[in-house]
Structure 1
Amino acid sequence: MTPTDYLKKLGERGDGPHDIAYAALMLAALDHPGEPIERPLSHLVEISDAMKKEASMIRRVNDGARTVAALLASRLGYDGDRLDYNNAGNADLITVIARRRGLPVALGILYMHAARALGLRAEGLNTQGHFVIRLTHRHDDITIDPFNGGAVVDRDHMPAELKGHDVGLAQTVSDTDVLLRLENNLKMRALDAGKPERALEVTSRMVLIAPRRPELWFDLARLNEATGVLGAARKAYESCLALTPAGQPLYNEASLSLAQLKRRLN
């Protein structure tokens, strides 16, 4: 099965939970055509196997958090890329695995992968500006920061990006949301670099894994229109409208944009 086929099926299954690290690897594989993925794939297996061996020893969620951090940060050397934070490779899991450096969300996906293999519940949080994850075991939970070695996040230990926020009140997000956050980093970097074609490529992947989200279809339509692919833009606007209740602002905006596009096509 090709990466595109896998991601399409993932999108059809809904928001998850998914095999999130494998899904991120398939997204990255689209930017490495023809390259074998056996090495990063075997690395994911190595992580899960190491965690499964420790699973019977975990009694508390704090034990689990320390075990995950000991593997990923201490033994395997994963850490946030502070020297070249905006490098697009920091959101590409193949490159992240090779360099052991990445963005918070990319590292978070690896921490979620490890924690789940350990028997913990692991979920991303909807924090703005800095991605952290919540681990749960039995009735206890803890928030950790994958970008900073899996450090515990609480009122006394708070990343600068989250100062003033109560992380304990942050809502969990789906695996699909986490993958979209990963890809959105690539999209925004492409737009900032003045590369709409690259942004269109990434947005197409986002629609692939989340086909029921009208706002993504709207973004896809806009990018197709901006790059001159007007037929595809029309179809994307129509898909957006089909998923959006009439009268909502997005519906009205998509309707207007589609009408203007049709006048250009006629």
Structure 2
Amino acid sequence: ALAVASHLGHGHDVDAELGRLQDLADAVPGDDLEAVVHHLFATTGLRGDRLSYYDPANSMLPLVLDRRRGIPLTLAIIAVDVARRRQIPATVVGMPGHVLIGDGDPPDRWVDGFAGGEWLDALGARARFAAVHGRHAPFDPRYLQAAPHASVLARLLTNLVGIFSSSGDARLLVRVHELRAAIPGLGERERSQRAAALTSVGRFSEAAELWDSEVASRGGDEAEAAGAQARQLRANLN
């Protein structure tokens, strides 16, 4: 996650940022997750940014450490990293709509970093889900399980895709898509979005190659439409 900020042009020294995380871990006055949570959210003052939630700074770990504000995902990443540096079990829990911190794998309790480090039982965690999606939204208990590292990173990048798509920052949008493409399991929709981003900055040949790959993976009318996109992009090169 630190490398994401560096790739997006913030110029942070990754080794120095790792040192900052180690300093946070060294200052934790105890050897359980309660001590980590209290130190980060009560003593250090990490908190959720409710005023400018979609500020891209909230998805950049070095800036979250600087500002002590972030979104649920980045706050969870920091808390889990600090805990693991103290050999304390902790996991990022990728509940749809609101990431939590778990007290192990599988977790028995959860922490809402965005709410200032509030501890939750299973009912409380489910209430967080209902607050985001509505009380009639179907809930799967697997939402409260630990998320694999690759899915955590993919979610961080997906957040940034949405932010830079909304802001119209095509240059940074392309950079985020480049990072996302390095993670296995890129879906058709994400490949199409990447092709559109490349097109927006005039990288027609690369976008055409992506549509070519869609021809191979799709069938029927969808394959024909992807081929038409590739041909249209190559026409721009003439």
Aligned-residue offset at 1:118 = 3.6
Which residue is equivalent to 1:40?
A: 17
One-letter identity of the residue aligned with 2:66: A
Rounded to whole Å, the distance in 2 between the matches of 1:114 and 1:49 is 9
- How high is the TM-score relative to the length of structure 1? 0.72
One-letter identity of the residue aligned with 2:225: L
Rounded to whole Å, the distance in 1 between the matches of 2:229 and 2:9 is 37
Which residue is equivalent to 1:31?
A: 8
Aligned-residue offset at 1:211 = 4.1
Which residue is equivalent to 1:87?
A: 55
Deviations 1:33-68 (A, max 9, x none): 5444454221111133345x844xxxxxxxx33122
Please state if 1:188 is matched with 2:156.
Answer: no
Instruction: Please show how residues 46-61 of structure 1 align to structure 2 within 5 Å.
Output: 46-50=23-27, 54-55=30-31
> What runs of 5+ residues in structure 1 fail to find an aligned partner?
1-23, 56-63
Which residue is equivalent to 1:257?
A: 226
Alpha carbons of 1:206 and 1:265: their partners in 2 closer, same or farther (altered >3 Å)?
Answer: same
Aligned-residue offset at 1:224 = 1.5
Rounded to whole Å, the distance in 2 between the matches of 1:123 and 1:66 is 14
Aligned-residue offset at 1:234 = 2.1
One-letter identity of the residue aligned with 1:143: W
Q: Is the 8 A contact 1:68 1:111 kept in 2?
A: yes
Aligned-residue offset at 1:212 = 4.2
Aligned-residue offset at 1:78 = 0.6
Please state if 1:146 is matched with 2:113.
Answer: yes
Q: Is the 8 A contact 2:7 2:175 kept in 1?
A: no
Aligned-residue offset at 1:141 = 1.9
- Name which of structure 1's ranges 186-195 and 160-169 shifts more when overlaid on structure 2: 160-169
Which residue is equivalent to 1:203?
A: 177
Rounded to whole Å, the distance in 2 between the matches of 1:140 and 1:85 is 27
Rounded to whole Å, the distance in 1 between the matches of 2:204 and 2:21 is 41
Count matched residues: 227
Please state if 1:225 is matched with 2:202.
Answer: no
Aligned-residue offset at 1:30 = 1.9
Rounded to whole Å, the distance in 2 between the matches of 1:252 and 1:198 is 32
Rounded to whole Å, the distance in 2 between the matches of 1:119 and 1:211 is 29
- How high is the TM-score relative to the length of structure 2? 0.79
Q: Is the 8 A contact 2:205 2:233 kept in 1?
A: no
One-letter identity of the residue aligned with 1:79: R
Rounded to whole Å, the distance in 2 between the matches of 1:38 and 1:45 is 11
Rounded to whole Å, the distance in 2 between the matches of 1:73 and 1:230 is 46
CA RMSD of aligned residues (A): 2.9
- Which secondary structure state, in structure 1, belongs to the residue aligned with residue 96 of structure 2? coil
Aligned-residue offset at 1:255 = 5.6
Alpha carbons of 1:163 and 1:133: their partners in 2 closer, same or farther (altered >3 Å)?
Answer: farther
Which of structures 1 and 2 has the larger relative contact order (alpha carbons within 8 angstroms, sep 6+)? 1
Aligned-residue offset at 1:231 = 0.7
Which residue is equivalent to 1:161?
A: 132
- Which secondary structure state, in structure 2, belongs to the residue aligned with residue 144 of structure 1? strand
- Which secondary structure state, in structure 2, belongs to the residue aligned with residue 173 of structure 1? coil
Which residue is equivalent to 1:127?
A: 95
1:78 to 46, 61, 73: 46
Please state if 1:100 is matched with 2:68.
Answer: yes
Rounded to whole Å, the distance in 2 between the matches of 1:167 and 1:50 is 37
- Which secondary structure state, in structure 1, belongs to the residue aligned with residue 108 of structure 2? strand
Deviations 1:176-226 (A, max 9, x none): 111121122221111112233332221111112x04424433321232234
